């Protein structure tokens, strides 16, 4: 029997969409310029590690 891995938790900040492209405008020759922005909470992975609850989270 293979060991089970714990399920990955979806990042609550980006809801699993870790990288977005933001349109900055159109160049004079008609091309669209975009910038990639990664979620700062999960660092672009889309998942969060399962960690124990901290006292700050309980009191909030």
Concatenated DSSP letters of 1-60: -PPPPPPPEEPTTTTT--EEEEEEEE-TTSPEEEEEEE-TTTTTSSEE---PPPHHHHH-
Q: Is the pTM of this model over 0.75?
A: no
Q: Are 48 and 42 in contact (CB under 8 A)?
A: yes
pLDDT digits (tens, 9 = 90+) for 12-47: 888 889 999 999 999 899 999 999 999 998 888 888
C-alpha distance from residue 24 to each of 5, 33, 36, 40 (Å): 41, 6, 11, 20
């Amino acid at each position: 029997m293979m060991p089970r891995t714990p399920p990955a938790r979806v990042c609550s900040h980006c809801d699993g969409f870790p990288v977005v492209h933001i349109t900055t405008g159109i160049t004079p020759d008609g091309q669209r310029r975009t910038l990639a922005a990664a979620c700062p909470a999960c660092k672009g992975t889309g998942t969060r590690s399962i960690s124990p609850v901290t006292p700050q989270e309980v009191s909030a």
